[in-house]
Structure 1
Amino acid sequence: MSKILCLNLCYHSNEFVIIIRDYKNYSELISIISRVHKYISTPWLVHNNPISINCSTGIAIYPKDGKTSIQLMKNADIAMYEAKKLGRNQYHFFTEKLNKKVQDIISLTKDMTEALKDNEYELYYQPKVSIKNSKICGVEALIRWNSKNGLVPPNKFIPLAEENNFILQLGDWIVDEALNQYILWKKNGIDLVMSINISAKQISQKNFAKELIKKIDYYEINYSKIDLEITEYMFLENREFTNENLEKLLEKNISISLDDFGTGYSSLSYLKKFPINNLKIDKTFVDDYSTKEGSIFLETIVKMAQALNMRVIAEGIEEEAQLEYLKKISCDQYQGYYFSKPLKAKDLEELYFRIIS
């Protein structure tokens, strides 16, 4: 195999290009790359202190991956960033599939930011219902993107928004929209707890709690009417600022709900160490209620949470039998299609008055 190879190496934010003109096969190529990695990772002695570094390598092959030096370096760069995602001392080959993935991400990123300017985002609201008296006691605000090309699923754009930090800008919009909707509903006689999903990157910002409290004060909303939904992943982010923010929010009586409990980095220590008011059990566990193991798990979680003075909310309730089981184990609240799917603000308002009339 006598093809020109372009290697793009990156370590400690410095990038270098290596051109390999002749190699017999891919095995030899991998051997060469491994030797480069080994050499770069060899500890260096600086002022009697050993310093170790690592590199990530992207690989583009001529002419398959590009017929010009610019194309080769561009594609090697794309592959290199994919290698960085895999961890330290990794390499990755450029492929058309990978290239399409990158181009799609670039396009979606552009569309996401434009969508905010063009008012394409909208909040839907799913009721939270008391199991004891069947009354709506709160709503969860859920973002929807009605793009010019149709509805874009949240699981497609939210992870990308978190990855490129657009979630900070989008998160601000969500908070403002939800608080404004709370005020509009209150004027119409609807006073429900507003639950707002907050990303790990948002709550790990130094002034997150301060800025949120300022907004709530501006709208003159009772702090106890605001609930923030976070996930277990939050505890892996900047713990210093995260803890400070949680403590400031707790001082103001703003409640915290731990969403999707049991699906991520579950640890009982979270429930003890952090100021969590509500525990939300993920739908996957609720769906398993009819099995012996599933029922034991659900009952144990409910009893444990309530022993720690937490309210328990079951997600994804779709059948009456599920609700009856939740009543049996004294779960506090539920939400799901059995009662209502997420609704537009106007539809939620109509549902509320229809139920209480």
Structure 2
Amino acid sequence: MRRKITENHIFGRVIAVLMLCALLAVIVPFSVFAGQFTSTVNLLDVRKNASGDGFTWANKTKTLTLTDFTVNTGDRYGLRIPHGATVVLVGTNTINASYAALEVQGDVYFRGEGTLILNGGEIGFINSTNMDDKKVIFESGNYVITAGENGIVSEYATWSQTGGKIEVTAAKNAAYGRDLRLMGGSFKANAPVHATNKLTVNHTSLDINAASAALVADKTLSVNNVKLSSGGTKLTEYKGENSILTSPMAKKQTTSRLFELIGNKNVPVFVDYVIFAVAIGAVVAIIVVPKVLKKKKLREAIAKYEAEEKARAEEKKRGAK
């Protein structure tokens, strides 16, 4: 009887452990081994705050913070991020996957002072949306992307770099998409940047050494506010060179710096001059004008005193006669 009770007790514990494992598999839809994820970390359907080894997701602000985050998987994707997310990079983060290391959907913004290393069997970074009104912006941070075919893919959404440092090693294209905008920071690659619609290069540092034309735009290529060179030779315009270096020219301020401080970037720069002129006028009115008036009154008082003294002296002289 006692043996039967013991066997039932052990059997019950085994069932409880199995149920707990099943529950954890539902709650945590990815595997973790020795501080790194070994399957896809999928945040596309997350609806509440979440965290794991190296990441936190704040659902209210849709902010994903990666801190020394690592995925090393044979799955198709390493990390999947939903529309509307802001990714903040801290430390060194590494993602390896068989197809695409990092997939995003819709509008996503990347910033922070950390590093993101992406290694994809075919693609390093991909925006898989099919809507052309979406955008991805790399605002700051360091990115090292290695891919079997294309480093960055954004077939519909606009992809932009406005800051930070990006280095791409890819067999086909460093970046491939509809509208690509290199508008700040530095971009280094061993393969072309290919836009199927428009490619914009503006105030940015490029270092591209490709087997074919470094910059490709099927419709519109815009290169502005940069100094161009290829193979040590200065260029006045880009004409399909395989190797290209650019350095940003000094930016001309076109909007009000004062209003930028309060978040308004649409006020023209001449408003600053108007405000400055008004401020100078106010200083003159408050400080200079009273001093001038005071000196004038003092001069008038001295002149009056001297006139009175002269009159008294003349009157005294007449009285003496």
TM-score (norm 2): 0.27
Higher share of residues assigned helix: 1
The structure with the larger Rg is 2
Higher share of residues assigned strand: 2
RCO higher in 1 or 2 (8 Å CA, sep ≥ 6)?
A: 1
TM-score (norm 1): 0.25
